[in-house]
């Protein structure tokens, strides 16, 4: 039996070797969004802490969440 590389499965979906790898695109999107969020949060924390001088409990909780999420990302993805 001859294997045809341009064949389509009976359901009409492309076969696994025909689907392009979009992993790098997804990684670029995730990194861009994470860095944008970090930049926005850093600007907010700087404004509240240095310029307005009213760093409150909600800002402290955001710092805690950012640190925890950073530690979680390192533990699961960089090992």
| pLDDT at residue 77 greater than cutoff 60 | no
Confidence band of 79 (pLDDT split at 50, 70, 90): very low
Residues 6+ apart with CB under 8 A from 55: 45, 48, 49
- Rounded distance, CA 33 to CA 38, Å? 9
In this predicted structure, what is the pLDDT of residue 47? Answer: 92
| pLDDT at residue 63 greater than cutoff 50 | yes
| pLDDT at residue 76 greater than cutoff 60 | no
pLDDT tens sequence across 18-57: 778 888 898 899 889 888 988 898 899 899 999 888 888 9
Of 13 and 74, the one with more pLDDT:
13
List the one residue out of 68, 67, 44 whose CA is nearest residue 56.
Answer: 44
């Amino acid at each position: 039996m001859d294997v045809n590389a341009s064949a389509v499965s009976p359901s009409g979906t492309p076969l696994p070797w025909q689907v392009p790898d979009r992993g790098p695109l997804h990684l670029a999107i995730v990194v861009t969004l994470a860095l944008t969020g970090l930049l926005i949060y850093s600007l907010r924390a700087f404004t509240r802490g240095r310029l307005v001088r009213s760093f409150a409990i909600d800002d402290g909780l955001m710092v805690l969440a950012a640190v925890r999420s950073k530690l979680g990302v390192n533990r699961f993805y960089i090992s």
